[in-house]
Structure 1
Amino acid sequence: MVTETPADLLARLIAIDSVNPDLVAGGAGESAVAGFCAAWLAARGFEVRLLDKRGGRPSVVAVARGTGGGRSLMLNGHLDTVGLTGYEGDPLEPCVRDGKMYGRGAFDMKSGLAAMMVAAVRATSGGRPRGDVILACVADEEHGSSGTEEVLESYTADAAVVTEPSHLEVTLAHKGFAWFDVEIEGRAAHGSRPDLGVDAIAKAGHFLVALEELGASLARGPAHPLLGTGTVHASVIHGGQEASTYPARCRVTLERRTVPGEDAATVEAELTAVLGRLAATVPGFRYRLVPGLHRDPFQADPEGEIVRTLTRHAEAVLGHPPVVRGEPFWTDAALLDRAGIPSLLFGVDGEGAHAASECVDLASLDRLTAVLAATVTEFCS
């Protein structure tokens, strides 16, 4: 069977609506694009399995079994995209201009899916390597990463490459995050009775000032060599009922971006210390700290075998040593690393992730595919 070019495959993937319904109510989800990828890979000799314990949110795992005795490598990319509303032009109609392909998901990250699918076929079509080649085309990365979590319940590998867009730069670290709600308690009363009421919104103002001071303190602290320092910001605030009533409560939702060495527990201790000082110094300050979703930061071993192998092939394809970098955003690489699978990120060049216009540089798509194919061939042999 003739294998499509990465650009041809990417165009077909862009045309399939796969908006994450956890982000956009009524979003199409991953069923159609997962079905397409499963059929495409099965037709090329891969053992294909759909994982869908959530129902209607499938991930695809496709395996080319090795001949035995070699190392296994997982290529991981996500099927879902952010929403289509507000996109300039038709987000599901791929178009090429000036060497770039445009469309929702072109950059983030159906380009990575196309590259890893074609690369895996190229690396196995001339004879299977000794180790297994595993493709994980996962659901829900843009929201809760339930797809990679489900894959890791049944599959492992000796290493993994996550094909998130990285501008053809070797990405060895990224930040994590922790979300918290701070619920500040007041006392409801008629607006004419300050002797009875406690203004929860005004009390929250003390916390917001302290949160800004915490952010400044973090910025002055020790910096990770690739990621810099952790950050914190207030994201959402809710409080009050009407103009004539003292608000009984005010809730501040915040996000703390973490670097290696920090996690949800250290952030909770940090916030507890801030809030404890306010409770001791601000009359009537009462609060409740509620942990939310958190994801760990990620850091690869720069001397790990998968890092050295991919970096060597990237240099050969690019004609120069690739840039080594960190990313401020979170990816599924952290889940793979936590499961004991040494990982790194390497993906296309382009722009417009989550933006009104999104594109991938097609030359970078070809280079990514070449690097991945060579990496699979060497690592799994």
Structure 2
Amino acid sequence: MTPRDLLARLVSIDSVNPDLVPGGNGEREIADFCARWFQERGFAAHRLERRPGRPSIVAVRKGTGGGKSLMLNGHVDTVGLAGYDGDPLEPVVEDGRMFGRGTFDMKGGIAAMMVAAARATGRPLRGDVIVACVADEEHGSSGTEEVLESFTADAAIVTEPSHLEVTLAHKGFVWFEVEIGGRAAHGSRPELGVDAIAKAGHFLVALEQLGHDLATGPQHPLLGTGTVHASLISGGEEASTYPASCRITLERRTVPGESPRRTEDELQAIIDRLEATVPDFSATLTRGLAREPFEADPDAEIVRTLVAALGEPPVVRAEPFWTDCALLDRAGIPCLLFGVDGAGAHAATEHVDLASLDRLTDVLTGTIAAFCA
């Protein structure tokens, strides 16, 4: 099966992440398909499904012994189908591009790594080849987290779309909730009330200043600087009442060297300063989900092997978004990101460049054969 044929089949399977879209189909159907596909080609297919209806498939072709193991990792879930221009589950080929939900993000990468693994293991290799088709990357990455509890490798490649450019770093993020306190009172009794929403304005101004300070501060050579922004705000009950609280959700995007603890400390410092200088200001900071930034060693063997298989001077890049590379790296698996060209991730129209799909498959095939030989 060619990568193009396989991609068309994968796109036709609804795998919308139900954590993003209530009632979404989830990964069960696409996991069943991938497991059968691998089994028909001599791989042992392991199904991991700690969360019912949210399976990941890990296909393994054992080596003859004495070689290095390589994991190929990609997510099979997609964002929602609503608002897509056309039928999102009907792959359409026009002018060398295939359109459909997930073609770019990231079933193109899934198809390439599946076909490459099958081709590269046509002859025995000394090292194990592990292909992880994981659930839930678009929301919480529970799939890769579950995989890493049972499987490891000497190196890994994540086939998220990268425009055939070698991606060696990406940002992390930390989410926070800030609860700003006030005092409820009738709107006619200002001497009794404390307006939590107005007090929140002081925090938002300070948050904007933090963003400016970050933007003009030290830069990572590939990623630039960290960022911060307010995402959600809510407060108050009715027009005639002073609001007793105001809640702000914010996101801090991080670069290597910026830990969740460091970002929490910088926000707490803002709150401490405001409590000391603004009358009746009080706030509580709560840290939520945190994902670490990622930075690969450019001299790692897997990076050098993939660049050699590429056969030309690579374009080295970084991504502003987070990927499962960070989880693999934290588990001690040297990795990088390398995937297809195209456009439209999460957009109303999405496509993959089919020449890049073929090129990715060839590069992955050569990388597997060389690394696991």
Tell me what 2:216 maps to: 220
1:306-365 superposed Cα distances (whole Å, 9 cap, x missing partner): 001101111x2xxx3120000000000000000000000000000000000000000000
Equivalent residue, structure 2, for 1:57: 54
Which residue of 94, 99, 103 corresponds with 2:100?
103
In structure 1, runs of 5+ residues without a counterpart are: none
* Counterpart-to-counterpart distance in 1, 2:238 and 2:12: 47
Residue identity over aligned pairs, in percent, reads 74
CA contact 1:178–1:263 (8 Å) conserved in 2: no
Letter in 2 for 1:240: G
Question: 1:153-204 CA distances to partner (integer Å, 9 max, x unpaired)?
Answer: 0000000000000000000000000000000000011111100110000000
Q: 1:163-202, aligned counterparts within 5 Å?
A: 163-202=159-198
- Give the deviation of 1:251 after TM superposition: 0.4
Secondary structure of the structure 2 residue equivalent to 1:109: helix
Tell me what 1:379 maps to.
371
Match of 1:38? 35
SS in structure 1 at match of 2:105: coil
Mapped pair 1:253 → 2:249: yes
**Of 103, 124, 127, which residue of structure 2 is paired with 1:128?**
124
Distance of 2:308 and 2:273 partners within structure 1: 52
Residues of 2 paired with 1:311 and 1:27: CA distance?
Answer: 38
Partner of 2:313: 321
SS in 2 for 1:368: helix
The list of structure 1 runs, each at least 4 consecutive aligned residues, that deviate by more than 4 angstroms after superposition, is none
Residues 21-52 of structure 1 show CA distances to partners (whole Å, capped at 9, x for unaligned) of: 00000000000000000000010000011000
Once residues 201 and 349 of structure 1 are traced to their aligned partners in structure 2, the CA distance between those partners, rounded to angstroms, is 45
CA–CA distance in structure 2, aligned partners of residues 192 and 357 of structure 1: 53
Match of residue 84 from structure 1: 81
Distance 1:194 1:290 in 2: 29
**TM-score of the superposed pair, with normalisation by structure 1:** 0.98
CA displacement at 1:258 relative to structure 2: 0.2
Shift of 1:263: 1.5
The number of equivalent residue pairs is 373
**Given residue 176 of structure 2, which amino acid in structure 1 is its aligned partner?**
F
TM-superposed deviation, 1:235: 0.3
C-alpha RMSD over aligned residues: 0.5
Tell me, yes or no, if structure 1 residue 47 matches structure 2 residue 66: no
- 1:21 aligns with 18
- Establish whether residue 354 from structure 1 lines up as the match of residue 351 from structure 2: no
Please tell me the residue identity of whatever aligns with 1:380. C
Tell me, what secondary structure is at the counterpart of 1:108?
A: helix
